Amino acid sequence: MDKNSIKTKNLSCGYGDKDVLKNINLSVKNNEFVGVIGPNASGKSTFLRTIDRVIEPKGGSVFLNQQDIENLDKEDIAKEMSLVPQEFSTNYSFSVLKIVTMGRTPHLGPLEMEDGEDMTIVKEAMEMTDTWELADRSFTELSGGEKQRVIIAKALAQEPSVLLLDEPINHLDINNQLEVLALIKSLSEKGEKTVISTFHDLNIAARYCDSLILLHDKNIHAQGSPEEVLSEENIKEVYGTDVAVRRRPETDCISVTPLSGTFGEKSEVSTYKIHLICGGGTGKLLMHTLIRKGHQVTAGVLSPLDDDYREAQRLGISVVESSPFSSIREETAKRNRKKIDKSDLVILADMPIGNGNLINLRLALEAAENKPVILVEKNSISNRDFTQGKAEDLYSSLREKCATKVRDVSEVLEFLSKNDS
């Protein structure tokens, strides 16, 4: 077996008397990027946590670099393997730099402090994840997406040969998703890391992973290349959803499009009818996340040339459409208003606003009179206003209507969960 690889032999995972996975046999090649997929509660996170020894296996063995980790102490495991969890919290107001520097702990002796070489490694990890500018910020003050990048930086500062990632892009916007996954993929391709990562998004997994493991009914239902695993038959059997699988020419990757449902996932909280006002790609991650959580989503007004329009079509989202290269007409705005009226709430993405789509902002202001409006404010309106101040004035009025302000998709989900009835 190659150095720096993971192997499991008859591995069984679970909690107490509950078996989550049974007799899992898996061999991950050196520097391979493996994606673990499956419906909710299929054991993806439990599998990673058992490999990392956060959870004791109920049976079987895990081998790291040809050694049974049962015979390794925690420090030796931490030098070679790092787990990035879905959520990381601390009760202390540590700086971002301090959090990332914690990644060097396995390499230090008792009472030993970090030296210049350690801090160089820390800085390199932060620069790779675009978190160096956050160094002096308190970790507790960061957005969900910023926190996620910091924890990935911490894992990289640990310099593991094996990187375990549990939903690493869950709180990231689309640009940061692509940047983080490109970074992780490059570390694998350069021979620096073996990567095992869980994913909800099958298309993302297909695009970046060398191979996939599909978990279902406490076992590995299928494993192999994305083409082998993501068949229409496998997805129907595991997720209970009809899909179309094809190769996208623009990416040369397998693409899965639901023909009905949301990959068989069941929401554990109330779902809402949500109208999304977006554009220029600002709504793509919101669409994916809201659909995945079981919400009914509509969008508009969007041009067929807009990235958000194309993504909405791919996800089966009903869209109010406008003609390309022209301002939104009053008749089109009326159709958008009808979608808004039928919704429980409206989300306004942090899209660029020009004279052509300014009416979308007016519709959001109208909606704020009788229903919740969530403003996604990752970027200041002043940087997105191309109307000589008209948009900024409307936006100020919208803020005064007590609209909820969030920074990213994770805070949107937090708002929805808090308002669950």
Helix %, strand %, coil % of the chain (to 5):
40, 25, 35
- Measured from the Cβ of residue 246, the count of other Cβ atoms closer than 10 Å reads 11
pLDDT digit string, tens, across residues 118-158: 999 999 999 999 999 999 999 988 887 888 889 999 999 99
On the question of pLDDT at 24 being above 60, the answer is yes
Domain total of the chain:
2
- Whole-number pLDDT of residue 402: 67
Q: What is the mean pLDDT of the chain?
A: 87
- Whole-number pLDDT of residue 135: 96
Angle 257-261-262 (CA atoms, 0-180°, nearest 5)? 70
The helix (H) or strand (E) run that includes residue 214 is strand 211-216
pTM equals: 0.63
Residues 227 and 299 in one domain: no
Phi, psi torsion values for 188, nearest 5 degrees: -70, -45
pLDDT digit string, tens, across residues 163-178: 999 988 877 777 778 8
- Whole-number pLDDT of residue 197: 97
DSSP string covering 272-284: -EEEEE--TTTTH
- What percentage of the chain carries pLDDT values higher than 90? 46
* Selection from 6, 42, 2 nearest residue 239 by Cα: 42
CATH number at residue 292: 3.40.50.450
What pLDDT band is residue 9 in, cutting at 50, 70 and 90? Answer: very high
Give alpha helix (H) positions in 209-315. Answer: 226-229, 232-239, 284-292, 307-315
Residue 265, in any domain of the structure:
no
Residues 218 and 72 in one domain: yes
d(CA 100, CA 27) in angstroms, rounded, equals 30
Residues 30 and 175 in one domain: yes
- Whole-number pLDDT of residue 260: 54
d(CA 191, CA 214) in angstroms, rounded, equals 25
Residues 250 and 130 in one domain: yes
Identify the domain boundary among 207, 232, 258: 258
pLDDT digit string, tens, across residues 28-53: 998 999 999 999 889 999 999 999 98
> Residue 24: which domain range?
4-258
- Whole-number pLDDT of residue 118: 95
Q: What mean pLDDT is predicted for residues 395-405? A: 81
Tell which wins on pLDDT, 348 or 251.
348
- Whole-number pLDDT of residue 91: 63
Residues 79 and 206 in one domain: yes
Residue 111 C-alpha from the chain's centroid: 37
Identify the domain boundary among 195, 229, 258: 258
CATH number at residue 105: 3.40.50.300
Phi-psi region of 410 (alpha: psi -120 to 50; beta: other; left: phi over 0): alpha
Residue 296, in any domain of the structure:
yes
What pLDDT band is residue 4 in, cutting at 50, 70 and 90? Answer: very low
Tell which wins on pLDDT, 323 or 113.
113
pLDDT digit string, tens, across residues 351-397: 999 988 999 999 999 998 888 999 998 888 888 888 988 998 889 88
Residue 177, in any domain of the structure:
yes
Residues 342 and 208 in one domain: no
Residues 280 and 249 in one domain: no
Residues 317 and 344 in one domain: yes
- Whole-number pLDDT of residue 16: 80
What pLDDT band is residue 95 in, cutting at 50, 70 and 90? Answer: very high
* Selection from 227, 247, 170 nearest residue 201 by Cα: 170
What pLDDT band is residue 403 in, cutting at 50, 70 and 90? Answer: low
Residues 290 and 207 in one domain: no
